[in-house]
Amino acid sequence: MARTLSDIETLRTYFAGLMGRADHHAQGVREIALALAGAVIWRKDPDAPLEVKTYRGEMANALWLTVSGQRYALSFHHGDGSIDLRRGGLQGETLGRFDNATPLADVYRIFDTL
């Protein structure tokens, strides 16, 4: 089930939760999560909602956004402790894999081409 994000406070809560979970599972994404939050705000279609996956009523590790009419998913990848950007959904083509070692220029370049 997905929950629609309707305001910046909910987006902030989602990313704060992701960063908090990173403390336990993968400390390597806390800083890059801040850049990704900015990229989501910058590139999402103004009239398209953001959605997050929920688990037992709580926000989980996946967020969907729409850019230029195309749906994308950001999700925490447990295998290597990174955050993936995929076209279409969680099983879609991986367009980027981000962790704290990812240069901010790469975040910009990938989101700029969406």
DSSP 67: E
pLDDT of residue 87: 98
Beta-strand runs (E) in 68-101: 70-77, 82-87, 94-98
Whole-model pTM: value is 0.84
pLDDT (tens digit per residue) in 55-109: 777 666 788 999 999 999 998 887 888 999 999 999 999 999 999 999 999 999 9
pLDDT of residue 111: 98
Q: What percent of the chain has pLDDT above 70?
A: 83
Query: Domains in the chain, start-ordered, CATH in brackets?
Result: 2-112 (3.30.920.70)
